[in-house]
């Protein structure tokens, strides 16, 4: 297997550079009175990014190295990632305490199955504790319980 990340990343940064360049050019503003406006620096930076990513692409094609074989825990990672996204989506409708409790339960069990009661206690203590400290003691704002 050839290491392809560098190529994808170079192309991605190249595209970002071009997109920023075009976007900044499309801003219409008169810079009369000052010699440098809001467009100069981003334009300059986008050109630099384009040049650097082209250079990186060139280097990565020139020295193709085989990728290191690693055993990665994609399953665990994906479960944590998906539950994290759901956590972000649900934090406002379900409230902080419930969404945090659910996320932690899923997280604990994904890391290692078992000890359900202990997991539930820790998750509840964390969610409830933070909510109490932040909202009741420090008078901050977190999404309240939905009922």
Partner 1 sequence: MESLQYLAQGLSVALEPLNIMFAFFGCLAGTLVGVLPGIGPISGVALLIPVAAMATSSLPMEQAATASIILLAGVYYGAMYGGSTTAILINTPGENSSVCTTLDGYQMAKQGRAGAALAICAIGSFVAGIIACVGLIFLAVPLAEFALKFSPAGQFSLMILGLCALSSLAGKSVIKAFIMTTFGLILSTVGVDPISGVARMTFNYSELYGGIEFLTLAVGMFALGEVFKTILTNDYIEGEAIKVGSIMPTKKDLKDSAMPILRGSLLGFFQGLIPGCGATLSSFMVYTFEKKISKNKANFGKGAIEGVAAPEAGNNGASGGAMIPLLTLGIPGTGTTAVLMGALVMFNITPGPLLFQDHPQVAWGLIASMLVGNFMLLVLNLPLVKVFAKVIETPPKYLIPGIVAISVFGVYAVQGSVFNLFLMIVSGVAAYYLAKNDYPIAPVVLSLILGPMIENNLRRAMNLYNGDYTMFVKDPISLVFLIIAFLWVAVPQIMKLRGKTVVVEEG
Alpha-carbon span 26 to 49, nearest angstrom: 19
What residues numbered 113-132 form the site for partner 1, per CB under 8 A?
A: 115, 119, 122, 126-127, 130
Site for partner 1 in 55-74 (CB under 8 A): 55-56, 59, 70-74
Scan residues 25-54 and list those touching partner 1 (CB under 8 A). Answer: 27, 29, 31, 34-38, 41-42, 45-46, 48-49, 52-53
Return the number of the residue (23 or 64) whose C-beta is nearest partner 1.
Answer: 23
DSSP for 5-54, written as a single string: HHHHHHHHHHHHHHHHHHHHHH-----TTSSS-SSHHHHHHHHHHHHHHH
Residue 147 beta carbon to partner 1: minimum distance, rounded to whole angstroms = 21
Using the rule CB under 8 A, is 147 a contact of partner 1? no
84: contact with partner 1 by CB under 8 A: yes
Instruction: Classify the C-alpha dihedral 130-133-136-140 as positive or negative.
Output: negative
């Amino acid at each position: 297997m050839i290491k392809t990340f560098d190529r994808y990343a170079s192309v991605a940064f190249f595209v970002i550079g071009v997109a920023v360049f075009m976007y900044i050019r499309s801003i219409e503003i008169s810079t009369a009175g000052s010699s440098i406006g809001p467009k100069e620096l981003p334009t300059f930076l986008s050109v630099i990014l384009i040049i650097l990513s082209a250079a990186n692409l060139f280097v990565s094609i020139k020295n193709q190295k085989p990728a290191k074989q690693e055993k990665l825990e994609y399953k665990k990672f994906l479960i944590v990632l998906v539950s994290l996204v759901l956590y972000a989506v649900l934090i406002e409708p379900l409230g902080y305490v419930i969404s945090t409790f659910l996320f932690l339960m899923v997280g604990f069990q994904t890391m290692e199955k078992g000890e359900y009661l202990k997991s539930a206690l820790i998750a509840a203590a964390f969610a409830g504790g933070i909510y109490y400290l932040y909202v009741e003691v420090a008078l901050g704002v977190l999404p309240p319980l939905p009922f």
